[in-house]
Amino acid sequence: MTPTADSYDVIVIGGGPAGCTAAALLAEHGRSVLLLERDLFPRFKVGESLMPGTYETFARLGVLDKLNETAFPRKHSVQFYSGSGRASKPFYFSDNNAHESSVTWQVLRSDFDALMIAAAADKGAEVIHEASVHDVLFDGDRAVGVRGKFGDGDIREVRATVVVDASGQSALISRRLKIVSTEAGLRKASIYTHFTGAQRDSGIDEGATIIYQTEGKDSWFWFIPLPEDRASVGVVGDIDYLIQSRDGDATAIFHEELSKCAPLEERLRRAEQAFPMKVTKDFSYRSKQVAGPSWVLVGDAFGFLDPIYSSGIYLALKSGEWAADAVHDAFESDDFSAERLGVFGPKLNEGMEALRKLVYAYYTKDFSFGRFLRRFPECQQGIIDILSGNVYADSVRRIFGPMAEMCELPEEITL
């Protein structure tokens, strides 16, 4: 397929959660929107566990009923295992908020992303799959459109008043403008796959995310229950430790780490691997700007922290939503400056900073949530809030003073 017009109000590059949210809400605002997605959906994608904080954006997109109809496991909590195999009590999101929004989903991304892109099309965005954007076109420092390859092999230029970059880790604009900073303290790699037939907990714990530290704390695993008796399982560690210092292939490394994680090994004893291991690395970075003249960045195209707290999709949805409102205001005031389009940047950055501090705490070898909460029980609410995606709550701001007494927190990054 090729675009039906030569020019649009907005072009959104990438049909992941961030791009679909921005495209859907801008189309709802009455803008002409072209959403260009490189892949043909459905396709595999990692990043399957949601935070309850996604609820409000789903409500705005009108997809809650569709999500409720799916077989995606319901996620009520997160649970952490220490390297010695000791389990924390699950952190139940409903402990702070008994509303239905405190239960979220573990999603098969192939189905979830298809649902999201259908929502963008339903709201009126023109969606084209197998449309790979090669370049963003600039007139001086102002974005004016894109050049891309469409399904028929045609290379075409399409113009727009605003370009929203939602290209995920490709981060087309920030890499081209060389405004990306990688997070030196978080140079991680991950090896992951799906299993069928893994042992599950029962009742409201059946859909929980479980995080397992390995003996020696050099790596950790996620266990995310998925539909049809599948589970997503992945290991994360420093690139040097996990990949560069080893001779074996990804499968051998995965099993070597698994052998240092008895409770997960037990859970997977009768499970079968569903497809070959996948590997990804160096995924923590942030752009120095969230917007420029006639362009704006959302989701991973702006930045990504770390998989540990499942915050990626939450931040993708929030930034997609805030960017859509900023772009709408820009059209209303005929002002497409960086200041107007990036008005949400400081708030997005503040949320990322809170999560980032918690990421560094997790990677501090002698820090544990159990010990932290035994010493500062008044921080329980703040921890549940941040794990829920309620990252702007006052309770969250109050945890970092006490936390700094038990581990070194990173210097804040400002936009």
47 binds ligand FAD (CB under 6 A): yes
DSSP for 349-392, written as a single string: HHHHHHHHHHHHHHTSTT--HHHHHHH-GGGHHHHHHHHHT-TT
Which listed residue (10, 19, 126, 293) binds ligand FAD by CB under 6 A?
19
3-state secondary structure of 256: helix
By C-alpha distance, which of 262, 168, 268 is closest to 225?
Answer: 268
Question: Residue 78 carries which side chain, given as an amino acid letter?
Answer: V
How far apart are CB 307 and ligand FAD at their closest, in Å?
3
Residues 199-258 that bind ligand FAD (CB under 6 A): 234
CB nearer to ligand FAD: give 28 or 48: 48
CB nearer to ligand FAD: give 223 or 376: 223
121 binds ligand FAD (CB under 6 A): no
The Cα 12–Cα 121 span in angstroms is 13
Q: Are 190 and 234 in contact (CB under 8 A)?
A: yes
* Residue 59, both tokens: 């409500």
How far apart are CB 325 and ligand FAD at their closest, in Å?
17
| Total of residues contacting ligand FAD (CB under 6 A) | 36
**What x-and-dash track marks residues 341-380 binding ligand FAD by CB under 6 A?**
----------------------------------------
Q: Are 160 and 144 in contact (CB under 8 A)?
A: yes
Which listed residue (168, 207, 292, 382) binds ligand FAD by CB under 6 A?
168
The Cα 142–Cα 161 span in angstroms is 9
* Residue 297, both tokens: 């960045």
CB nearer to ligand FAD: give 79 or 190: 190
Which listed residue (32, 49, 294, 381) binds ligand FAD by CB under 6 A?
49
Which listed residue (29, 31, 38, 356) binds ligand FAD by CB under 6 A?
38
Residues 6+ apart with CB under 8 A from 178: none
39 binds ligand FAD (CB under 6 A): yes
H or E segment to which residue 155 belongs: strand 155-165
Q: Are 395 and 388 in contact (CB under 8 A)?
A: no
For residue 299, how many other CB atoms are within 10 A of its CB? 31
Which listed residue (22, 172, 226, 233) binds ligand FAD by CB under 6 A?
172
CB nearer to ligand FAD: give 27 or 172: 172
How far apart are CB 147 and ligand FAD at their closest, in Å?
10
12 binds ligand FAD (CB under 6 A): no
**What x-and-dash track marks residues 75-104 binding ligand FAD by CB under 6 A?**
------------------------------
149 binds ligand FAD (CB under 6 A): no
Buried b (16+ CB within 10 A) or exposed e, 105-138: bbbbbebbbbbbbbbbbebbbbbbbebbbeebbb
How far apart are CB 315 and ligand FAD at their closest, in Å?
7
Q: Are 370 and 82 in contact (CB under 8 A)?
A: yes
Residues 294-333 that bind ligand FAD (CB under 6 A): 299-301, 304, 307, 310, 312-314, 316
Interface with ligand FAD by CB under 6 A: which residues?
13-19, 36-39, 46-49, 132-133, 166-168, 170, 172, 190, 234, 280, 283, 299-301, 304, 307, 310, 312-314, 316
